[in-house]
Amino acid sequence: MLPALPNITLPPAPNVSRIQRVLKPVPFILLHVAAVVAPFFVPLTWTSAALCVGLYVARMFGITGVYHRYFAHRTYKTSRWFQFVLAWLGCSAMQKGPLWWAGHHRHHHKHSDQDEDPHSPIKKSVWWAHVGWVISSKSRNAPKDTMQDFARFPELRALDSYLTWVPGLLLAAACYAIDGMSGLVWGFLVSTILLYHGTFLVNSACHLFGTRRYNTTDHSKNCWWAAILTLGEGWHNNHHHYQSCARQGFKWWEVDVSYYVIRTLGFVGLVWDIREPTPKALAKNLIQKTV
Ligand SMILES: [Zn+2]
Ligand SMILES: [Zn+2]
């Protein structure tokens, strides 16, 4: 699936004018205002509630199980057509394309909680780590030279450029078709905003709150409540210790829904070569031997 790769790099960051810098966060802010105000005027129906929960969970997997564990860390393999299906699902979360997302994430692991970390709450503020870096013009393009392995696929480059907002907008239209304004506001808008902040917790809370099982070179923590909200990503110290395996909950009680979904996809043959942690790696650099 991923043979020797040509040396492809993403385009250089464009010059950003002051007005572009000021306008960049405006759509993000308007989405938040709409998600707070509109629910007062639009009724919550059973259908829209189901859409809200269902789309939160499905798209959280699109970020955690796909953008993160597949595109950033290559913890399992799949076919080219299913890779695009997965990328489309991740893109429908409105968190930009897979190359942008995974490229920044690889940069995070390379420089975790150091000056070049794009979103460290230790080096910068909690606000910056949670949301500031996302809406800053500094993060407009993916870091160069970090995604050559996937940048060779034109369909993925399309999701990172002219198709970026299409999966999300089509999903919004589908929600409206299913349940009118309730579907659009509760099913799509509210779940999208909850999804933003659920995902962002991994960058902010999971480097601040929780426990450390492994002696990593950063401040990553295992945070149980973030793990529940993010389908398993909250076991972040585990993940920083062993980035190349598909599971992040190493104990039976460390609930890791994304891993269960990946295993299910493996069971039906859609993905394969799911990487598991070795006993040797699990026993290495332990701080707490009993938990
Ligand atoms: Zn981290
Ligand atoms: Zn990671």
Q: Is residue 95 part of a domain?
A: yes
- The total domain count for the chain is 1
CB atoms within 5 A of ion ligand 1 belong to 220
Q: What stretch of H or E contains 78?
A: strand 77-78
Measured in Å, residue 199 CA sits from the centre of ligand 2 at: 12
- What is the pLDDT at residue 167? 98
Three state DSSP letters for 98-161: HHHHHHHHHHHHHCCCCCCCCCCCCCCCHHHHHHHHHHCHHHCCCCCCCCHHHHCCHHHHHHCC
Measured in Å, residue 218 CA sits from the centre of ligand 1 at: 8
Q: Is residue 7 part of a domain?
A: no
Looking at the CA of 208, name the nearest ligand.
Answer: 1
Q: Is residue 42 part of a domain?
A: yes
Q: What pTM, to 2 d.p., does this model score? A: 0.91
Q: Is residue 8 part of a domain?
A: no
Measured in Å, residue 223 CA sits from the centre of ligand 1 at: 12
- What is the pLDDT at residue 115? 85
- CA angle, residues 204, 194, 162, in degrees to nearest 5: 90
Q: Is residue 15 part of a domain?
A: no
Measured in Å, residue 122 CA sits from the centre of ligand 1 at: 11
Averaged pLDDT in 10-residue chunks for the chain of 291 residues: 46 66 86 93 96 98 98 97 98 96 92 87 89 84 81 94 96 98 97 96 94 93 96 96 95 96 98 94 81 50
Q: Is residue 111 part of a domain?
A: yes
Q: Is residue 12 part of a domain?
A: no
For residue 66, the enclosing domain spans 26-283
Measured in Å, residue 289 CA sits from the centre of ligand 2 at: 23
- What is the pLDDT at residue 14? 56
* Centroid of chain to Cα 259: 14
- What is the pLDDT at residue 289? 58
Side chain identity, residue 233:
E
- What is the pLDDT at residue 181? 97
Measured in Å, residue 29 CA sits from the centre of ligand 2 at: 27
Measured in Å, residue 270 CA sits from the centre of ligand 1 at: 28
Q: Is residue 43 part of a domain?
A: yes
